[in-house]
Structure 1
Amino acid sequence: MTTNLGTTAASKKKPKGKITDGLTFGRFPITAVEPVVEGGKYPAKALPGEGIVVGATAFREGHDQLGVSAVLLDPRGKERQRIRLAPPRGERGLGTDRWEGVLTPSAVGNWTFFIEAWHDRYGTWHHNAEVKVAAGIDVELMLAEGEALLADAADDVSRNASDRRTLRMAASILGNASLTAEERLAGGFNADVAAVVDRQPIRELVTASQQFPLLVERDLAGRGAWYEFFPRSEGAVRDHTTGAWTSGNFRTAARRLDAVAAMGFDVIYMPPIHPIGIQHRKGPNNTLIAGPHDPGSPWAIGAKEGGHDAIHPDLGSFEDFDAFVARANELGLEVALDLALQAAPDHPWVESHPEWFTTRVDGSIAYAENPPKKYQDIFPLNFDNDPEGLAKEILRIVQLWVSHGVRIFRVDNPHTKPVWFWEWLIAQVNKKTPGVVFLAEAFTRPAMMHALGRAGFQQSYTYFTWRNTKTELETYFTEVSHESAAYFRPNFFVNTPDILTEYLQFGGPAAFKIRAALASTASPLWGVYAGYELYEHVARPGAEEYIDNEKFEYKARDWDAAAESGRTLAPYLTRLNSIRHAHPALQDLQNLTVHQSTDDATVVYSKHKNLPDGTKDTIIVVVNVDPHGTRESTVSLDLAALELDPEDLTHNGGFRVEDLITGETWEWGEYNYVRLDAHVEPAHILSVRRAHQ
Structure 2
Amino acid sequence: MTGRFLIDDVTPAVNCGRYPAKAVVGELVPVGARAFAEGHAALGCQLVVLGPDGEQRALTRMVPGPPGTDTWQAQLRPDEVGEWRFAIEAFLDPYLQWRDAVSKKVDAGQGPAELANDLAEGVQILGRAAVGVPTPSALRVRRAATALRDEARPLPERLAPALALAELLWQWPVRELVTRSDEYAIVVDRPRALFSAWYELFPRSEGAVADEAGRPLRHGTFTTAAQRLPAVAAMGFDVVYLPPIHPIGRVARKGRNNALTAEDGDVGSPWAIGAAEGGHDAIHPELGTRAEFEQFLARAQELGMEVALDLALQCAPDHPWVTDHPEWFTTRPDGSIAYAENPPKKYQDIYPLNFDNDPAGIRAEILRVVRYWIGLGVRIFRVDNPHTKPVDFWHWLIAEVKRDAPDVLFLAEAFTRPAIMHGLARVGFSQSYTYFTWRTSAAELRDYCQELVAAADYMRPNFWPNTPDILPEHLQHGGPSMFKVRAVLASLLSPAWGMYAGYELFEHVARPGAEEYLDNEKYQLRPRDWAAAEAAGESLAPFLTRLNTIRREQPALHWLRNLRFHESDNEAVLCWSKRDPETGGVVLVACSLDPRHEQWANLTLDMPELGMQGHETFTVRDELTGASYRWGQRSTVRLDPWEEPAHVFTVHRP
What amino acid is the match of 1:59?
Answer: F
Whole-angstrom CA distance in 2 between matches of 1:86 and 1:270? 47
Q: Give the aligned partner of residue 285 of structure 1.
A: 257
Question: In the alignment, is residue 78 of structure 1 matched against residue 60 of structure 2?
Answer: no
Q: Give the aligned partner of residue 685 of structure 1.
A: 648
Q: 1:134 to 1:33 in 2, by over 3 A?
A: same
Look up the SS of the partner of 2:539 in the other structure: coil
Question: In the alignment, is residue 436 of structure 1 matched against residue 408 of structure 2?
Answer: yes
Q: Give the aligned partner of residue 661 of structure 1.
A: 624
Deviation at 1:150, TM superposition (A): 8.6
Identity %: 54
Q: Give the aligned partner of residue 670 of structure 1.
A: 633
Describe how 1:323-342 pairs up with structure 2 within 5 A: 323-342=295-314
What's the CA shift string for 1:454-511, capped at 9, x where partnerless?
33221111112212222222222122222x2222221112211011112222222222
Among 80, 83, 100, the alignment partner of 2:73 is: 100
What's the CA shift string for 1:423-454, capped at 9, x where partnerless?
22222323333322211111112222222223
Whole-angstrom CA distance in 1 between matches of 2:142 and 2:585? 38
Whole-angstrom CA distance in 1 between matches of 2:114 and 2:480? 73
Among 507, 512, 534, the alignment partner of 1:536 is: 507
What amino acid is the match of 1:117?
Answer: A
Q: Give the aligned partner of residue 399 of structure 1.
A: 371
Structure 1 window deviating more from structure 2 (384-393 vs 406-415): it is 384-393
Does the aligned pair in 2 maintain the 1:48–1:106 contact within 8 Å? yes
What amino acid is the match of 1:421?
Answer: F
Whole-angstrom CA distance in 1 between matches of 2:581 and 2:126? 30
Q: Give the aligned partner of residue 20 of structure 2.
A: 43
Q: Give the aligned partner of residue 294 of structure 2.
A: 322
Deviation at 1:235, TM superposition (A): 0.6
Q: 1:172 to 1:493 in 2, by over 3 A?
A: farther
Among 580, 592, 595, the alignment partner of 1:627 is: 595
Q: TM-score, normalised by structure 2?
A: 0.91
Does the aligned pair in 2 maintain the 1:609–1:617 contact within 8 Å? yes
What's the CA shift string for 1:194-221, capped at 9, x where partnerless?
5435544555443221221121122233
Q: 1:430 to 1:278 in 2, by over 3 A?
A: same
Question: In the alignment, is residue 118 of structure 1 matched against residue 86 of structure 2?
Answer: no
Describe how 1:402-421 pairs up with structure 2 within 5 A: 402-421=374-393
Among 343, 349, 354, the alignment partner of 2:321 is: 349
Look up the SS of the partner of 1:62 in the other structure: coil
Whole-angstrom CA distance in 2 between matches of 1:131 and 1:415? 61
Does the aligned pair in 2 maintain the 1:153–1:164 contact within 8 Å? no
Does the aligned pair in 1 maintain the 2:7–2:181 contact within 8 Å? yes
What's the CA shift string for 1:83-128, capped at 9, x where partnerless?
333455xxxx464333333211011122111112233455545655
Deviation at 1:304, TM superposition (A): 2.3
Aligned-residue CA RMSD (Å)? 3.1
Q: Give the aligned partner of residue 555 of structure 1.
A: 526
Does the aligned pair in 1 maintain the 2:215–2:266 contact within 8 Å? no
Does the aligned pair in 2 maintain the 1:51–1:588 contact within 8 Å? no
Look up the SS of the partner of 1:38 in the other structure: coil
Whole-angstrom CA distance in 1 between matches of 2:278 and 2:617? 66
Whole-angstrom CA distance in 2 between matches of 1:459 and 1:419? 15
What amino acid is the match of 1:118?
Answer: F
What amino acid is the match of 1:687?
Answer: T
What amino acid is the match of 1:218?
Answer: R
Question: In the alignment, is residue 609 of structure 1 matched against residue 580 of structure 2?
Answer: yes
Q: 1:345 to 1:119 in 2, by over 3 A?
A: same
What amino acid is the match of 2:71?
Answer: R
Q: 1:167 to 1:452 in 2, by over 3 A?
A: same
Deviation at 1:178, TM superposition (A): 11
What amino acid is the match of 1:67?
Answer: G
Q: Give the aligned partner of residue 109 of structure 1.
A: 82
Q: 1:361 to 1:690 in 2, by over 3 A?
A: same
Deviation at 1:556, TM superposition (A): 1.6
Describe how 1:410-489 pairs up with structure 2 within 5 A: 410-482=382-454, 484-489=455-460
Q: 1:130 to 1:665 in 2, by over 3 A?
A: farther
Look up the SS of the partner of 2:480 in the other structure: helix
Look up the SS of the partner of 2:458 in the other structure: coil
Question: In the alignment, is residue 510 of structure 1 matched against residue 481 of structure 2?
Answer: yes
Q: 1:281 to 1:209 in 2, by over 3 A?
A: same
Whole-angstrom CA distance in 2 between matches of 1:135 and 1:657? 52
Q: 1:350 to 1:176 in 2, by over 3 A?
A: same
Deviation at 1:258, TM superposition (A): 0.4
Q: 1:674 to 1:240 in 2, by over 3 A?
A: closer
Does the aligned pair in 1 maintain the 2:3–2:178 contact within 8 Å? no
Whole-angstrom CA distance in 2 between matches of 1:131 and 1:581? 53
Q: Give the aligned partner of residue 360 of structure 1.
A: 332
Q: TM-score, normalised by structure 1?
A: 0.86
Q: 1:156 to 1:179 in 2, by over 3 A?
A: closer
Structure 1 window deviating more from structure 2 (67-76 vs 127-136): it is 127-136
Structure 1 window deviating more from structure 2 (438-447 vs 254-263): it is 438-447
Structure 1 window deviating more from structure 2 (203-212 vs 401-410): it is 203-212
In the alignment of these two chains, the number of paired residues is: 653
Q: 1:431 to 1:550 in 2, by over 3 A?
A: same
Deviation at 1:52, TM superposition (A): 1.1
Q: Which runs of 5 or more residues in structure 2 are unaligned? A: none
Q: 1:608 to 1:243 in 2, by over 3 A?
A: closer
Q: Give the aligned partner of residue 5 of structure 1.
A: none
What amino acid is the match of 2:17?
Answer: G
Whole-angstrom CA distance in 2 between matches of 1:472 and 1:641? 22
Structure 1 window deviating more from structure 2 (195-204 vs 469-478): it is 195-204
Describe how 1:236-251 pairs up with structure 2 within 5 A: 236-239=208-211, 244-251=216-223
Whole-angstrom CA distance in 1 between matches of 2:402 and 2:471? 34
Q: Give the aligned partner of residue 641 of structure 1.
A: 609
What amino acid is the match of 2:228?
Answer: R
Deviation at 1:153, TM superposition (A): 4.1
What amino acid is the match of 1:113?
Answer: F
Does the aligned pair in 2 maintain the 1:345–1:377 contact within 8 Å? yes
Q: Give the aligned partner of residue 159 of structure 1.
A: 133
What's the CA shift string for 1:354-410, capped at 9, x where partnerless?
221111112221111111211111111111212222222222222222222212111
Q: Give the aligned partner of residue 7 of structure 2.
A: 30
Deviation at 1:270, TM superposition (A): 0.5
Describe how 1:134-283 pairs up with structure 2 within 5 A: 136=109, 145=118, 149=122, 152-153=125-126, 156-160=130-134, 195-201=167-173, 203-239=175-211, 244-283=216-255
What amino acid is the match of 1:517?
Answer: V
Whole-angstrom CA distance in 1 between matches of 2:568 and 2:146? 53
Whole-angstrom CA distance in 1 between matches of 2:157 and 2:568? 47
Q: 1:156 to 1:606 in 2, by over 3 A?
A: farther
Structure 1 window deviating more from structure 2 (47-56 vs 109-118): it is 109-118
